Amino acid sequence: MSQKHRQLHLNAFLYGTGHHEASWRLPEARPELNLDFNHVLQIVHTAERGLMDSVFLADGYTGRSNKLEPFTELAALASRTKHIGLIATVGTTYNEPFHVARKFASLDHISKGRAGWNIVTGSASAAHNFGREEHPEHSLRYEEADEFVEVVKKLWDSWEDDAVINDKASGVRIVQDKVHTIDHSGKYYRVKGPLNIARPPQGYPVLVQAGSSESGKEFAAKVAEVIFTAHQSIESAQEFYKDVKSRLPKYGRTPEQLKILPGISPILAETAEEAKEIENRLFDYVNKDEAVRRLSERLGLDLSNQPLDEPLSLEGVRETGEVNGNKSRHQLILDLIRNENLTLKQLINRLAGARGHFTFTGTPLQLADVIETWFLNGAADGFNVMPQIYPAGLDIFVDKVIPELQNRGLFRTSYEGRTLRENLGLSRPANTRFSFKAAR
């Protein structure tokens, strides 16, 4: 597909009162509505009105985030929406393939083909909630995740597409010869199968991945159909885009089979000055002491006595190779400090805006220029939109930015299909059950 006819893909990352960590402290914010389904539904309806491809719920198994469990929430949203894709994070390290295969198949059936799975390996802090003494080492987690996804795909494929016939005349509901055991026996999992629900409408829900480490990029090239990634500059995004796309041929894949969506976290207003005022208000509400504590923990340095307005020194910092968690985000922070000579205050404020994703403050027209530049210059196939303030930030994005992108011929004016795969331009995968004999 030529650059001229490529179309942007846009996902809305749902996140409470907004992606700025201080958004909940704004006078107009309503943090008490984070568990209110109707409030979330209104936000999702805004994204669907804007013809966005999907909404995304991040998830984990630790902390005090006070948010709804994603399968429950997305199943409810599926019944009240028609077109928009519904993507949930589910980790592989602290789950079993059968459970995950069944839940995503159910969500895909409920939504009539709009489900997506953001595949992560999980965070270190979750280990003690699952009876484990420690989090598995980074490369081993990805090796385990690779087999996990393989098993899940086999389970989805354990039912042939035409296994369910519900033939009243013959009295046959399910053709038994078209439902198969998978008999998987691997290094990490032993699963007989079959799954106890028919193959999902999309074949597989859309497979999404968010890691940008070396292991993460290789895993994405093999498995993912969409990547959520974080970059602070177009140059970094271009390098990542070229790197990951170049890995696809070894797995028999083409560039069009993988959509790369960097995060973009905007503060928008009618004028740049008004947008900057909103940014300054948010910064005033940031808990600086808590931010310093988190940074100290991440970097392995005590920053409590570091002056806020002096450039940071990285002497004694924990390097990325020593991290058994989110390596790519750790490296991003180190690069920010090294490349931009940031003060502690500047770094705190930069990370407060979206935890390391690209932040933007300005007008809708200016943001459309940035999006177009990245899209047309090998940095992105679209964006993971992360408003720093919800719902107002998504409202202005849908009402002002999307029409401008449509005017430039960069974004759809109607949904192309009924499923998330169709809207992303991804083909429905064929059933691979005949390759089961090649399993480990």
- Positions at the binding site: 59, 89, 138, 142, 212-213
Among residues 146, 141, 104, the alpha carbon closest in space to that of 126 is found at: 141
CB 48 within 8 A of CB 82: yes
CB 383 within 8 A of CB 54: no
Between CA 316 and CA 308 the distance in angstroms is 19
Q: Where are the alpha helices (DSSP H) in 63-178?
A: 70-78, 97-110, 138-156
Residues 6+ apart with CB under 8 A from 253: 221
Q: What is the DSSP letter of 244?
A: H
Here the tokens at position 63 are 């902390």
Tokens representing 40 are 């979330």
Binding site membership for FMN: which residues? 59, 89, 138, 142, 212-213
Neighbours of 3 (CB within 10 A): 9
Structure tokens belonging to residue 276 = 């900057």
The phi, psi pair for 2, rounded to 5°, reads -70, 160
